[in-house]
Amino acid sequence: MHEVENKSQTNRQASAETLAVFREFFAYVQTYEPSIATDEIAQNRWLTKRMRKAFVEHIGRSGNPEGNPDYPTNATFVLV
């Protein structure tokens, strides 16, 4: 058996703009309110069109937030 070099990975540092956007998004989802589940401006700002569509569909399937402890919240983007 021999090792295969993975040439698809890069070790470049993210741009300052990319890091700034990530920090803004991460700061946003670390708060309880406003909730990205209801904040369409935040959804449009940080989520791709496909991600927004999937997220909205997931919210629709999640039912009542009071009756579902796993209802999507900002913590959905922080917890693993």
Whether residue 50 lies inside any domain: the answer is: yes
Residue 46 clears pLDDT 80, i.e. is over it: yes
Q: List the structure tokens of 35.
A: 């909730």
Total structural domains in the chain?
1
In angstroms, the CA 75 to CA 4 distance is 38
Residue 7 clears pLDDT 70, i.e. is over it: no
Whether residue 41 lies inside any domain: the answer is: yes
Full residue range of the structural domain in which residue 51 is found: 16-63+71-77
Whether residue 39 lies inside any domain: the answer is: yes
In SS3 terms, 22-55 reads as HHHHHHHHCCCCCCCCCCHHHHHHHCCHHHHHHH
pLDDT at residue 28 in the model: 97
pLDDT at residue 8 in the model: 65
Whether residue 56 lies inside any domain: the answer is: yes
Whether residue 57 lies inside any domain: the answer is: yes
Whether residue 6 lies inside any domain: the answer is: no
